[in-house]
Amino acid sequence: TSPLAWLRTRFYYLLIRLYFDQEFSVEEFTRGAKQAFSVVSKLLSQRKLDLLDELVSAEVLQVLKEKISLLPDSHRDALAADIDAIMYTTEGDIRIYYDDDGIKFVSILMCFWYLNGANLPDEVPGQAKVFQIVFGDENTKEKKHLLTANYEFQREFTEGAKPDWTITRIEHPRLLE
């Protein structure tokens, strides 16, 4: 990320700690986001969407139900991200906003890069080449794809609201389109 983007995210984290949650920890949030990403991506790949009610917003869940039913098996398998296969995680956009009723929200977009061994074509038509990594020697060669996903987490910080983060956006480029 650029130095300005890094500085901007740190400023927003400071605002969250000062005005919304004095206990907020970037490291703890990132750890929880990685865990949530792994669980949700596996449930998506297994088509167990009914188990996502508490984790994903109703609007996103409705869109996912339509998209998942149309996916080929190879793309569906590629959605799953084992927590140990997450190679890199970074924050995207962070937003703090109030709605018309004075309800306070914080949204944090997390970007994940993960390895997956699904049987994907080398190139997806109309898209950039999917990165591949080969492990092992000629006899035990294992091909993995380096894939990306963006998940947006939102939490309401109005007094009395549940302290739960909800996923309000799920993007798996080249897979869930």
The C-alpha angle with vertex 158 and arms to 156 and 162, in degrees rounded to 5, equals 55
pLDDT at 131: 57
Find residue 114's DSSP bridge partners: 86, 147
Q: What is the 8-class DSSP label of residue 173?
A: T
Specify the pTM. Answer: 0.88
Question: Rounded distance, CA 159 to CA 137, Å?
Answer: 57
- Smallest CA-to-CA distance from 79 within 124, 47, 121, 34 is with 47
Please state, as a whole number, how many other Cβ atoms lie within 10 Å of the Cβ of residue 56.
24
Considering the chain, what is the average pLDDT of its residues?
Answer: 88
Could you tell me what percent of the chain has a pLDDT over 70?
Answer: 88
Q: DSSP string spanning 34-88?
A: HHHHHHHHHHHHTT-GGGGTTTB-HHHHHHHHHHHHH--HHHHHHT---GGGEEE
Q: What is the pLDDT of residues 23-33, one digit of tens each?
A: 999 999 999 99
pLDDT at 5: 87
- Smallest CA-to-CA distance from 98 within 170, 32, 20 is with 20
Q: What is the pLDDT of residues 115-125, one digit of tens each?
A: 998 887 765 44
Whole-Å CA distances, 15 to 9, 22, 142: 10, 10, 45
How would residue 129 be classed by pLDDT, with cut points 50, 70 and 90?
very low
How would residue 20 be classed by pLDDT, with cut points 50, 70 and 90?
very high
Q: What is the mean pLDDT of residues 49-66?
A: 94
Residue type, 85: A
Length of the chain: 177
Question: Rounded distance, CA 115 to CA 80, Å?
Answer: 9
- Smallest CA-to-CA distance from 144 within 121, 172, 123, 115 is with 115
- Smallest CA-to-CA distance from 37 within 165, 174, 175 is with 165
pLDDT at 177: 75
